[in-house]
Structure 1
Amino acid sequence: MKVLMAGGGTAGHINPGLAIANYLKQKHPDAQIKFVGTERGLETRLVTREGYELELIKVRGFKRKLSFDTIIAIKELFQGMVEARKIIKRYKPDIVIGTGGYVCGPVLFNAAMMKIPTLIHEQNAYPGVTNKILSRYADAVAISFKESEKYFKSAKKIALTGNPVRDEILHTDKVSARKRLGISSNSRVVVVVGGSRGAQNINNSVVDMLKKYYNSNDFNIIFATGEAQYDRTMESLGKDIAPTVEVVPYIYNAADVYAAADLMVCRAGAITLSELTAMGIPAILIPSPFVTANHQEYNARSLEKNGAAVVILEKELSGNVLYNQIMSLLKNREQLSRMASNSKKMGITNATEKIYSMIREVMKQKGKL
């Protein structure tokens, strides 16, 4: 089996591709898998670190306003189309899989025109423009939120598979996680994380909350600032940090820390939400307003609608608002338990297996299996 994976830009597009590739390798140890990306995306680090071959093409996103950048984007699109076609003709894949990002456009479109089996995986509730266009040509579309189905009306086949979730997330429980972390079973634990790079407005609000409203007997807090913002955040907090507050630049043991939480405060990236729902963790979601098409708010509203989370928009966020919302949920154990149950109901823990079934079905239809 020869597989060509296209996906790039952010970890949210790349990690699902890697999860699919790793699962394919488990099922077919002799499978050949190659990725296509761009030199500007995180794939240059993440894909090669996993040991997969990566080929690069030229392509970039279009800005809404006509400018010199638009001309460059058009030029690179045509260049990327030519480069992608050359890669496909040389590699001769049995299937081409796209997991999002501008790089998918030239690769998946060329593959579809060459009658090669194609599958798109969409991570978000509100799909990216590239995937919406490609869905007209691809053989199948795998979605992660039921809400995104209405945006793929032209798709030949569509199925709800969810987002692939890391194995360690699926095999961790609260009791054992708290033992490993040295956290009492009686403690109420809130985990705050704004992403690997941090979220300045979330950090500022947490600092304000800790300095003005928080008492050490309220709850334990694990606060990940993001590596780039750690020093500045610590300087803002000062030296008098309560012993019930742990401030770290980054959470490396995410499975244990998440499992130990009674409540998460975080962004609404698709992979993060898939992990939270797989573990059944109630959340206060603060969607990033700086993402394409405001897709994080669509993700967050999906959980809110199902009673698994509370949404605070960043423009409404403050230390006082955050503190009051945390305390309101922690004091209402019945509501928190109900949110955890609703979150768990939304969780999909076998996404990779479902995507694999779709891959096999598409390949059979095209005579590749």
Structure 2
Amino acid sequence: MNKTTIIISGGGTGGHLYPAVVLGQKLKELKPEADLVYIGSQRAVEKKIMSEQSLTYLTLPVEGLKGRGFKKLRGLALLPLAFIKSLAIIAKYKPGLVIGVGGFSSGPVVLVASILKRPTLILEQNVVPGFTNRLLSHLTDRAVVSFPSSLQYFKGKGVLLGNPVRPEFYEIRRRQPGKPLTLLIFGGSQGSKFLNDRIIDSLPYLGGLRDSLVIYHQTGDKDFNRVKEAYSRAGFERVTVSPYFSPMSDYLAAADLVLGRAGATTCAELIAAARPAILVPFAAAADNHQEWNARELERAGGAEVILEKDFKPDLLPARLKFYIDNPQALSQMADNLGKLRQEDSAGRIARLALDLLQSAERKG
């Protein structure tokens, strides 16, 4: 067994990829001699992100099993190929440890590694585990969770260490909310058509707040021109519209309030930066995991939740006016998010992973 090879597997979305990259960087920092191999899906967004990283990147022919009809049948048909390729990769690289970061591409790799008695560790970034991690919970050696309420799903194997977040989010300083209120609208790495549509619908009701708002709106590529033109027609001048903001940490640092989705990485970045939010969970998310995530931040007093079905054009203006008139509410929300913060999650997870590796070496 090659004890210096570590496989990190998972992905399908940026929400799984970025924690994998952050964790990989920390593992390399703590154990420079380790060879890191990342195994993901064949999605274009994943290939783009991983091509920028200095690690071996391999893909599996795998797709999600959610959905109906042909899509689900295709996912099932690809599974045997994914297992065969996972077996071949593990046989070739002989990893000392396999880490699953969630998403459908982590399942075959961690399952094969467990069957072959390789040490395994999984990360569950959402409050309620998805299908893959529910299955793997019976086989893995340890499971890292981001929220205390997630521990119940892992029967003594769970460890509360948080979600690996890029260091720059922890370095964001607290803001004193005031006028104008700076709003960051962020629907994930590819934007959100739903949020873009609702913002356009809300603009006629937001006219009275023009002088009290500065807006940064990440639209994604498809809606950029449409959204930018809508702001212009409505007479909004203090608005920055872009298909994609980079680095996102700079825009989060400038924000008093965030309007966004409730993916695991978004929630983790909000917690790390202590930025209050109005969260609109993606209604079609697998297992409704975004609403569970959003409710966790809401219960902590760090966010409010608006469901898609309740997002009427006049609702957002009313909520923004409340926060403009009551900046102390934003300060309290930021304080509450600070109580959820897990310092140096990536470092703590990396040290747990290396402990598993060393334990396997001793048993060797």
For 2:287 and 2:159, the matched residues in 1 are separated by 23
Q: 1:174 and 1:362 mapped to 2: Cα distance?
A: 36
SS of the residue aligned with 1:259? helix
Q: Which residue of structure 2 aligns with residue 241 of structure 1? A: 235
Amino acid in structure 2 at the alignment position of 1:163? N
Q: In the alignment, what sits opposite 1:259?
A: 253
Q: What is the TM-score normalised by the length of structure 1? A: 0.91
Q: Give 1:232 deviation, angstroms.
A: 1.5
Task: Work out which of the residue numbers 35, 51, 64 in structure 2 matches 1:32.
Answer: 35
Please list, as runs of the form range in 1=range in 2, the aligned pairs for 1:86-235 lying within 5 A after superposition: 86-153=88-155, 157-173=157-173, 187-214=180-207, 215-235=209-229
- Rounded to whole Å, the distance in 2 between the matches of 1:250 and 1:210 is 21
Aligned match of 2:320: 326
User: What SS class does the counterpart of residue 144 from structure 2 fall into?
Assistant: strand
**How far apart are residue 103 of structure 1 and its match?**
1.5
How many angstroms does 1:329 deviate by? 2.3
CA deviation vs aligned residue, 1:44-75 (integer Å, no higher than 9, x gap): 2222211221222222222465x555554333
Does the aligned pair in 1 maintain the 2:179–2:324 contact within 8 Å?
no
Instruction: Give distance in 1, aligned partners of 2:248 and 2:213.
Output: 19
Alpha-carbon distance, 1:11 to partner = 0.9
Judged with a 3 Å threshold, the aligned counterparts in structure 2 of structure 1 residues 345 and 200 are, in CA distance, closer, same or farther, namely same
Deviation string 1:95-119 (CA, Å, 9 cap, x unpaired) is 0000011121111111111111100
**What are the ranges of 5 or more consecutive residues in structure 2 without an aligned counterpart?**
none
CA displacement 1:135-171 (0-9 Å, x = unmatched): 1111000011222222223xx5210111111122222
| Distance apart, 1:334 and its partner CA | 2.7
Output the CA distance in 1 between the equivalents of 2:116 and 2:58: 19
SS state at 1:131 partner: helix
Q: Are residues 1:358 and 2:360 paired?
A: no
Give the residue type in structure 2 aligned to 1:305. R
SS at match of 1:281: coil
Q: In structure 1, what is the Cα distance between the partners aligned to 2:205 and 2:266?
A: 29
Give the secondary structure class of the aligned counterpart of 1:296: helix
Q: CA deviation at 1:230?
A: 0.6
1:47 aligns with 2:40: no
Partner SS, residue 188 of structure 2: coil
Does the 8 Å CA contact 1:197/1:229 hold for their aligned counterparts? no
Matched to 1:244, the amino acid is R
Return the alpha-carbon distance in structure 2 between the equivalents of residues 29 and 263 of structure 1.
Answer: 39
**Residue 24 of structure 2 is aligned with which of 14, 21, 32?**
21
Mean CA deviation greater in 46-55 or 166-175: 166-175
Q: Per-residue CA shift, 1:211-233, capped at 9, x if unaligned?
A: 33333222222222222211111
How many residues are aligned here? 359
CA distance in 2, matches of 1:235, 1:107: 46
TM-score (norm 2): 0.92
Q: What one-letter code is carried by the residue in structure 1 that aligns with 2:99?
A: I
Distance in 1 between the 2:319 and 2:223 partners?
24
Query: Which residues of structure 1 form unaligned runs of 5+?
Result: 179-183
Q: Distance in 2 between matches of 1:253 and 1:152?
A: 35
> Which deviations, in whole Å up to 9, do the C-alpha atoms of 1:331-357 show, x marking residues without a partner?
223322211100111122311112112
